[in-house]
């Protein structure tokens, strides 16, 4: 009786072992270990090459380029731009590479070389709006990296006046975030549209106030020509100091 009971159990164990071994044998070999980032980057790029949907493939290249830039591999990140089909995604990838590199606090000469390469890549974009957006993004990244002169020069190369003024304003907002009043005044002075300049001055004054650079916020507000915009900027400086939880001037 015992032998009869034992046989089914043995068979069950053998079957389980066989199935387990088969499942293990069918597992795909792991190409990389998680810590091997170089291997992972290679694997991602190879896998992305097989994505048939253009938008998804472009987005994968964009995110990979940003991560490569964070790891100091900007040349490899820039090389991915040639694989991206959408002009808009290409412009966004240029922005991602520049901002990621700016976040890494690199030496000034490295930034100069990087932004020169990104500008060359922007020139290759034959879709005028995307080309202008790419230049705006480069100017913003330069401002974020502390290259204020470079940001102004990049913006100055833009033919479209409204987009050029927007680039100056965006640079000013980034400079205000770090409390750089001298750079802000230089950027805003380059805007040649009074209405747009007033709008940007008010935004920048608010950015200064939010960062508790209240004297800078007041100094910026003084340059606003429109009386209503100026009064609202002054009001925001007061509100941010007296009742910061209610500071929401429109």
- For the record, the structure tokens of 151 come out as 């940001």
pTM, entire model: 0.76
Radius of gyration over every alpha carbon of the chain, rounded to an integer in angstroms? 27
Query: One digit per residue, pLDDT tens: the chain, 250 residues?
Result: 555 555 556 555 544 554 555 555 455 556 788 888 889 888 888 888 889 999 999 999 999 999 999 998 999 999 999 999 999 999 999 999 999 998 888 888 889 999 999 999 999 999 988 999 999 999 999 999 999 999 999 999 998 899 999 999 999 999 999 999 999 999 999 999 999 999 999 999 999 999 999 999 999 999 999 999 999 999 999 999 998 777 654 5
Query: Whose CA is closest to 177, among 159, 158, 203, 195?
Result: 203
In this structure, how many other beta carbons lie within 10 angstroms of the beta carbon of residue 237? Answer: 22
- The CA-atom distances, in angstroms, between 15 and each of 6, 8, 55 are 14, 10, 47
């Amino acid at each position: 009786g015992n032998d009869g009971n034992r046989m089914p159990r043995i068979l069950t164990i053998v079957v389980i072992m066989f199935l387990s071994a088969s499942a293990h044998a069918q597992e795909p070999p792991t190409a990389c270990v998680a810590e091997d980032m170089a291997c992972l980057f290679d694997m991602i790029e190879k896998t992305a090459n097989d994505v048939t949907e253009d938008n998804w493939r472009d987005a994968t290249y964009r995110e990979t380029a940003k991560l490569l830039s964070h790891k100091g591999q900007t040349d490899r990140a820039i090389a991915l731009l040639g694989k991206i089909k959408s002009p808009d995604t290409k412009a966004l990838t240029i922005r991602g590479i520049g901002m990621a590199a700016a976040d890494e606090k690199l030496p000034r000469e490295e930034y100069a070389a990087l932004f020169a390469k990104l500008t060359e890549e922007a020139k290759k974009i034959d879709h005028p709006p995307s080309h202008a957006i790419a230049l705006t993004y480069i100017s913003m990244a330069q401002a974020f990296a502390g290259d204020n002169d470079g940001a102004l020069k990049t913006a100055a190369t833009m033919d479209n006046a409204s987009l050029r003024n927007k680039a100056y304003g965006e640079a000013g907002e980034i400079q205000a975030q770090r409390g750089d009043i001298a750079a802000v005044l230089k950027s805003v002075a380059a805007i040649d549209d009074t209405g747009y300049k007033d709008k940007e001055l008010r935004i920048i004054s608010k950015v200064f106030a939010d960062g508790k650079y209240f004297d800078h916020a007041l100094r910026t507000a003084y340059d606003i020509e429109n009386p209503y915009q100026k009064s609202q900027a002054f009001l925001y400086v007061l509100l941010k100091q007296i009742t910061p939880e209610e500071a929401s001037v429109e």
